Structure 1
């Protein structure tokens, strides 16, 4: 369906070439200071037309908050946000009346619903993600205020061009301290310093060359986005089926064009022996426990452990390309399709704020669930642990 979350529920609406897109947030706590200025920066990072590496579709993506706010503060009632579609060109898609576009959702939507949007990708278009990004900005502000949560994503690969840490993992090497320090201090300002949104200058230059190569060939190229969540409260995640990483995977793989998800050491961790992969515990200066390494990616047993959470999302090459492609009509007759729609030669630079938004929605929802559990437990008599069991003080989530 079009709704994500249990307590912090987000419903997105709109198609790629309708009058507008947006979202409705249900479950946002009252009393949160909120205006359009809190939401717009992330939408501006997502919007098309940012550089030569993105689609030339000219959308300003200006958000308007329609409800749930009074005097700049949330009321606890549903928050409605809308963004108009301005640069629409439905005539660019007339050929889709005859041909299902290769690797698009034209055919599957038609078979599922018996009808499909006549222009663009409809709900399968990346414009649907505007509502996600707007809602994620609200969740992120709340989490920053109450728990100090920081979420930063960046482009980690384009085609075969990868950041060095990925190459090390693929060679079966444990994650080094250099990469851990990199994740500790990376900022969005550093990520946005280059149009590729890759914070490593040398790798970024190679990525730009690869993307422009695809663009000049009227082709496309895929890539990956890595995301870091810092200061995430301990204890989030619902065993067994709603483990924290399971909800993250659900969120990330719901983003258009995604084809893979890994957390912590991921698939590269399968090449590392257990004695090097295990994250040994140590006692921190404040008396709490931490881990020496973080191959687990901040999650153990499906529950956040207080370490930084990091994961990677794979994006396929954009399906819309300007090359003529041999295909068939809806009736099965052979033909040639030459798409005219505007497209990104590589989606990953614009996907960065989308990944951040979905991460914020997961943390927000799981945070409210855990807060509910803890609040209800305070109404009962305190738990008594047997004396022979080491009594560890529970870690507060705020």
Structure 2
């Protein structure tokens, strides 16, 4: 299977299946000398760990990470960083009844069409559990970005029809939905509880703010920064749409409304009066906060009967059993952060050779 790697210089390759012995990632291209520990990785993995609220799957996994290579005396060595998480509570028997049928909304049918074979236990490589490797790799990228004063904050901006109307950073971790609005969180709880009673699932939107990114990252044609961020986020299994800055709202604006006027701020630096562009112009970062949103679909595994077909093309009714998230958004917040961190870290390293002055500064002693 191709396509399990992401990045050019700062590059990750994820491996493993949801119901295999373990799952993990190899991070290549991380500069030597970065202070890194298993605790740094574990802190991020704990944020996506299942079973933390009634709104996530009851699959109880510790998701304890083990760094297998690439670290010596608490620092990266510049060699590949391999990390592994053991799968401890697989219940593959929950999936035996769907071995020969296609679950609506899942990759069962498309996997069969591509490979002629699929791992039906939790979806195999298409399982959301694959994101463990992304989060572990993203944790390394975040440590690198911290050294450069770059921070990334993601949160749910909406759950189903409920939208956050205020932004209170302190509220994000105070509710199980990671909404920055306490009133919206209470409304979301009522909505999701009702959907669960009806054996339905919910979707939502995750917004991410990337602060401290210098101007000049990204290229103006195929390797645009917004194009690479979009690819990074759409590669997350449940994400079906992306917005940068004003996004689709820009289609309803006029030029004078959508353009961001430049000025010189009190520090003597170039700045913008507004940020409709979301921190990216012409595919290149402009120094402002990068704002990106990811639309997350409802969890396809629902507990009400659905119509489908078998692998033998016979119509059938399917009722899914097992342990599933009633909504993916809360646990996907840290995955969005990880993919943004990986994209920015890779762009920073690629940008070091954009100008001859930078090359001369590096090699002139």
TM-score (norm 2): 0.96
The answer to whether the Cα contact below 8 Å between 2:108 and 2:120 also exists between their aligned partners in 1 is no
1:355 matched residue in structure 2 = 336
CA contact (8 A) 1:261 1:312 kept: yes
Helix, strand or coil for the counterpart of 1:12? strand
Residues 18-61 of structure 1: CA distance to partner in whole angstroms, max 9, x if unpaired? 01111000100000000011111110110110101111111111
Task: Tell me the SS of whatever aligns to 1:107.
Answer: helix
Alignment of 1:132-151 (within 5 A): 132-145=134-147, 147-151=148-152
Q: CA deviation at 1:377?
A: 4.9
Q: CA deviation at 1:126?
A: 0.4
Look up the match of 1:394. Answer: none
Corresponding residue for residue 161 of structure 1:
162
Report the secondary structure of 2:354's partner residue: helix
Unaligned runs of 5+ in 1: 165-178, 381-398
**In the aligned structure 1, how far is the partner of 2:86 from the partner of 2:79?**
23
Distance 2:58 2:241 in 1: 27
1:2 corresponds to 2:4: yes
Aligned to 2:96: 94
Aligned to 2:21: 19
- Residue 184 of structure 2 is aligned to residue 203 of structure 1: yes
The CA distance in 2 between the partners of 1:44 and 1:26, in whole Å, is 23
Secondary structure of the 1:152 match is strand
| Distance in 2 of aligned mates of 1:280 and 1:376 | 29
The answer to whether the aligner puts 1:214 opposite 2:216 as a matched pair is: no
Query: Which runs of 5 or more residues in structure 2 are unaligned?
Result: none
The corresponding residue for 1:308 is 289
Alignment RMSD: 1.4
Query: Take 1:375 and 1:61, find their aligned partners in 2: how far apart are those partners?
Result: 45
Equivalences for residues 75-90 of structure 1 within 5 A: 75-90=77-92
- Quote how far apart the aligned CAs of 1:375 are: 6.4
5 Å-filtered alignment, 1:284-323, equals 284-323=265-304
What is the CA deviation profile of residues 279-320 of structure 1, one whole-angstrom value per residue up to 9, with x for unaligned ones? 000101221100000000000111001000011100111111
Matched with 2:47 is 45
Aligned to 2:69: 67
Residues in 1 aligned to 2:142 and 2:311: alpha-carbon distance in whole angstroms:
44
- In the alignment, what sits opposite 1:386? none
Residue aligning to 2:246: 265
Aligned to 1:116: 118
Q: What's the TM-score once normalised by structure 1's chain length?
A: 0.88
> Which residue in the other structure is 2:60 paired with?
58
Indicate if the aligned counterparts of 1:21 and 1:85 stay in contact, CA closer than 8 A: yes
| CA deviation map 1:242-267 (0-9, x unaligned) | 10000000000000111100010011
The answer to whether the 8 A contact 1:320-1:341 is kept is no
Match of 2:215 among 207, 213, 234: 234
**1:376: how far off?**
7.0
> SS where residue 11 of structure 1 aligns?
strand
2:360 is aligned, of 379, 387, 397, to 379
What count of residue pairs does the alignment treat as equivalent? 359
Q: Is the 8 A contact 1:229 1:308 kept in 2?
A: yes
User: What is the Cα deviation at residue 162 of structure 1?
Assistant: 1.2
C-alpha offsets along residues 123-167 of structure 1, whole Å, 9 cap, x if unaligned? 11000000000000100011111x100100000111111123xxx
C-alpha distance in structure 2 between counterparts of 1:302 and 1:97, whole Å:
44
